[in-house]
Chain A
């Protein structure tokens, strides 16, 4: 990937992270850890991979994104705001009474949100429905879904996995955000979904392993492999760092569903702004 593009993607991801910290701080609630781990994924999807028109969120032929791990919506909202779907100032009223930005994604009111999610396991099925609709009508759009690794404990995910392969939904790309942590701790200690890649392969999916979800060259290489349909749905199993970009949140399950206090907010923003400035110098 060219340096200029990479810098642009890194800056977008940095802004998404700042939006996550800002939003959860203002809300005094929310899920920063799993939001920060998908910031780079969203940057790539919204700037490179997906065919979208922020001026026309309901465009029928747009690519769709279903955030099946709906609790990571602070990152989705920040990405949508950064793309111009709505004003960035909305991020500051996340989760407030009467706010546009609900605690989990609401497709009815938030421009750019393709599916209401939040109850884990359901988004991937809805993504299957969208992909199936495209097959029925001969539409060319693709459907992307982002799942948590803990979410794989929901049986419905595997019902959907079976369905997608059976119906040859090769216009569907699932991303499993494998940050190895869920609310109660390490996924291996709670109820291990491993091996994730072999499970999807056994269900008939094309599996792409992305060993660093924060390296844009690797992200680019992974998504490049999704573009040629081969009759199978595709899953990218991405190894990510929960809380990525904020030193004290990284790899700590405690930051799954907790907002930063004033001091933590300031430290996080200082770190993220420093990272952004570093990008500009480079």
Chain B
């Protein structure tokens, strides 16, 4: 089998911005002294007149993005997830969310796979924060193909969008020729009748690995790629709740407020079923190589399999 290509979704973000910049002169990009890391530097190189480094001032950057959108531009504002969603939360809520302005937030370095920088920079709470803002769309793509498609779709959409990207290179799962990003719709990667694994971001790869392991044990797992956390695809989740024995959610995010919460909120009033989380269990991250950290925090196929087996009991 050929070696799988690995690309960090922040790279995909930078590449997609360049494509957008060529097509639409209303696209402007803001960064907060992290252009080399968030990859908006790729856009800066091609379109220096439409890239603005705000310096280390994320709160100001978000409100500036709001002003740009109010004046008709399509701003992409970027920083690490910790600062985009965390530090500037109130600016995002009041200056962007409340007036429903057409700002796209490109948040990179989300989750514990930031690695060595440790807990201060590992944001496991951003999906929870962003999901709580009325009218905010929250997207967490699984690979390069999906990430680029999500950026293009976000640019077409009128309204605020939070796009979550990672630092770590992740395998390319999708085929560019056949992949179609449908706004707010889950991609069913594998059909299955026993259990459902609903995964988002880099956990989608692990969900597929887990499904393989379960298949060897004669268990048919349905694998859902939940690229959009809000609005959540209720139909596909409720169908899974009705047709399988339960749902394992897998996310590189806190167990509070992310995919696990979104799935529980969806099923409990309609088709109650058991839901088991694979997530960061209400703890802070720590320093270390990204892949080792994912193991340390149980964000792997092994934990997904264990949770799926619990549902089979």
- Per the bound structure, the CA–CA distance linking A163 and B70 in Å amounts to 18
CA distance A118 to B94 in the complex (A): 8
Q: Which of A1-9, A120-128, A233-241, A255-263 contacts B (4 or more CB under 8 A)?
A: A120-128
Chain B residue at minimum C-beta to C-beta distance from A115: B70
* Interface status of B65 (Cβ within 8 A of chain A): yes
Question: Count of B residues near A, CB < 8 Å?
Answer: 29
Question: A162 vs B54: C-alpha distance in the bound complex, in angstroms?
Answer: 9
Q: Are B73 and A133 in contact (CB under 8 A)?
A: yes
Q: Once bound together, how far apart are the Cα atoms of A35 and B200, in whole Å?
A: 49
A116/B98 in contact, CB under 8 A: yes
A119 touches B90 (CB 8 A): yes
B185 within 8 A of A: no
Chain B residues whose C-beta falls within 8 Å of the C-beta of A108 in the assembled complex = 99-100
Q: Which residue of B lies closest to A135 (CB)?
A: B49
The secondary structure that dominates the B interface is helix
Contacts of B55 in A (CB 8 A): 159, 162-163, 166
Distance in angstroms from A76 CB to nearest chain B CB is 16
- Do A129 and B59 touch (CB < 8 A)? no
| In the complex, A130 has a CB within 8 A of chain B | yes
B78-128: which residues lie under 8 A (CB-CB) from chain A? 90-91, 94-95, 98-100
Q: What is the distance, in angstroms, from A173's C-beta to the closest C-beta of chain B?
A: 14
| Nearest chain A CB to B181 CB, angstrom units | 28
Q: Are B90 and A163 in contact (CB under 8 A)?
A: no
Q: Which residues does chain A contribute within 8 Å of B99, judged by CB atoms? A: 106-108, 115-116
Q: How far is the CA of A134 from the CA of B99 in the complex (A)?
A: 20
Find B63's partner among A64, A129, A167 (CB 8 Å cutoff): A129
* Chain A proximity mask over B48-75: 1 for CB below 8 Å, otherwise 0: 0110101101011011111111111101
Closest to A105 in B: B99
- Is B57 in contact with A163, judged by CB distance below 8 angstroms? yes
- Known contacts A156-B60, A156-B63, A130 near B54 by CB under 8 Å: no
Q: Does B263 contact A (CB under 8 A)?
A: no
Q: Does B28 sit at the interface, judged by CB under 8 A?
A: yes
State which of B70, B90, B98 has its C-beta within 8 Å of the C-beta of A130: B70
**Please, which residue of chain A has its CB at the minimum distance from the CB of B59?**
A156
A159 x B59 contact (CB < 8 A): yes
- Is A114 interfacial (CB 8 A cutoff)? yes
Contact of B94 among A122, A162, A167 (CB under 8 A): A122
With A115-B67, A116-B99 given, name 20 new contacts (CB 8 A): A106-B99, A107-B99, A115-B66, A116-B94, A119-B91, A119-B95, A123-B63, A125-B91, A126-B95, A127-B67, A128-B64, A129-B71, A133-B71, A156-B57, A156-B59, A156-B63, A159-B54, A162-B55, A163-B55, A163-B64
List 19 A-B residue pairs with CB atoms under 8 Å apart, sorted by A's residue number. Answer: A108-B100, A114-B70, A115-B67, A115-B70, A116-B94, A121-B59, A122-B66, A122-B91, A125-B91, A126-B95, A128-B60, A128-B63, A128-B64, A129-B64, A130-B67, A132-B67, A159-B54, A160-B64, A162-B57
